[in-house]
Amino acid sequence: MKWLIRSFFKTLRAVLAPVILLLNKLTTPRGIIRDPEQQQQIDAATRQLALYQFRSCPFCIKVRRAARRLSLNIEQRDALHDPTHRTALLEGGGEVKVPCLRITENDGQVRWLYESDDIIAYLQTRFAA
């Protein structure tokens, strides 16, 4: 019975993933227009961030769209297909759960922030105009 349930959800994900990605592509939000100097400062600050995500995860898409609205160039790391990133997420964050934002503070400390709403709140607090 377990295999039937797993097969059902695996098939459902396989069918819905392309639809979700297509809808996301068709409705991509516009980013904030900043002057080049200010955008360079923002880009420098976002080099300290990395988003661990799955490409078709709805919560990851939500975070990527929020980053796009804020014109943030955050490195995206695929924790589903890249075993190196998956291992780093497990060892650093403690669990393979996405989305997860890896934040390297100015003093070198690393913080792992889970939950899409928390990540979006952090990004808006730190980078919103």
pLDDT tens by residue, the chain, 129 residues: 889 899 998 898 888 888 888 988 888 899 899 999 999 999 999 999 999 999 999 999 999 999 999 999 999 999 999 999 999 999 999 999 999 999 999 898 999 999 999 999 999 999 986
Residue 98 in tokens: 């996405």
Predicted TM-score of the model (pTM): 0.87
Q: What is the pLDDT of residue 129?
A: 66
